[in-house]
Structures are given as structure tokens and as C-alpha cells.
Amino acid sequence: MKLRVNNKEYSVEVANNPSLLEVLRDKLDLTGTKYGCGEGACGACKVLVNGIPTPSCITPVTSVSGKKVITIEGLAENGELHPVQKVFLEEDVFQCSYCAPGMVITAAALLKKQPDASTQDLIDGLNGNICRCCTYPAIINALKKIIQ
Ligand code: FES
């Protein structure tokens, strides 16, 4: 099947309709997207599918045929990190960083939809992304800096 990922066309052989996450990591070598729970509950594997943060671990790869997939590797544009990537780095928000790709993807989509998101909007919007180091306050405070 053909896949459009990070504005590149790929042609991949897929048997038994694996998850989008498996194809990204194992066939396209895009390992920035992480495997966490495998059940759609932790957010580590989120990618953008037509702009919507989507848990790739429970998304059959065939369901994204003809759609535009953006992974953490494709979020920076023209050599410039996305503002969410920049502020998370500047504010040094993460500890282990395993949740970072999914957190960045979700926050980027949230701020695109709601550029003036309130603190509660940020908390609600990131509700599906779990950080085992519990750096939530640092994440929310960093995002507030790019909203002001
Ligand atoms: Fe997909 Fe947790 S690994 S949501």
C-alpha cells in the first residue's frame, strides 16, 4: 500500500493489516513515535492523521490510506523546530522523555486548534497523554509561555 508520511510517499508491503505504529517504526524506521501501553490509553504513540492526534498503536495501517500522517520527525518545518518543541527544550520540561513525542504532537494540534487555550483547556487537551515522571506542571507552564 501507499502511505503519505511527513510529506513523503512510501510504498510498503503490509500483511495482516498491522498497526500504523508497527509500520512507522519497523518498516519506515521512524522510531521517534513510541510504544507505551499498546491499548490507546497512554498517548506515547500519537501521530497526526489529517491533523488529528491519533494513537498509532490501535490504528490499522490500512485506515490511513490516502491520509496525511505527520510524526514527530516531520513536525519541524524548513529546519525550524515547532514552537512546542522549542519551548519544551528551552524550559527543560521532561525527565525521561519517553512521553515527549506524543506530548509534542498532541500539544501542537491543540494549539493549532485553540491558539488562545486556557490552562484548563491545556490540562483537558493533554489528558490522554501520560507522563510517568509526572512533569505535567512543567509541561503546562511551558505551553502557557507560547500562548501569552
Ligand atoms: Fe498507543 Fe499507549 S502505546 S496509546
Hey, what's the cell of 109? 494540534
Domain tally, the chain = 2
On the question of pLDDT at 134 being above 90, the answer is yes
Domain shared by 50 and 92, yes or no: no
Q: Which atom of ligand 1 is nearest to the CA of 43?
A: 4
Q: Domain of 94: which CATH number?
A: 1.10.150.120
Q: Is the CB of 36 under 6 A from ligand 1?
A: yes
Domain shared by 140 and 98, yes or no: yes
- Given this model, what pLDDT does residue 5 score? 98
Containing structural domain, residue 61: 2-74
Share of the chain above pLDDT 90, in %: 99
Helix H or strand E segment including 8: strand 8-11
Quote the mean pLDDT of the chain: 97
Hey, what's the cell of 60? 490499522
DSSP secondary structure of 43-104 = -TTEEEETTEEEEGGGSBGGGGTTSEEE-GGGSSBTTB--HHHHHHHHTT--SS-TTHHHHH
Q: Is the CB of 40 under 6 A from ligand 1?
A: yes
Calpha distance 43→138 (Å, rounded) = 18
Q: Which atom of ligand 1 is nearest to the CA of 130?
A: 2
Domain shared by 68 and 16, yes or no: yes
- CA 38 – ligand 1 centroid, Å: 5
Q: Is the CB of 38 under 6 A from ligand 1?
A: yes
Summarised one tens digit per residue, pLDDT across range 77-110 is 999 999 999 999 999 999 999 999 999 999 999 9
Give residues with Cβ within 8 angstroms of 141, minimum separation 6. Answer: 91
Domain shared by 141 and 119, yes or no: yes
- The average pLDDT across 50-61 equals 98
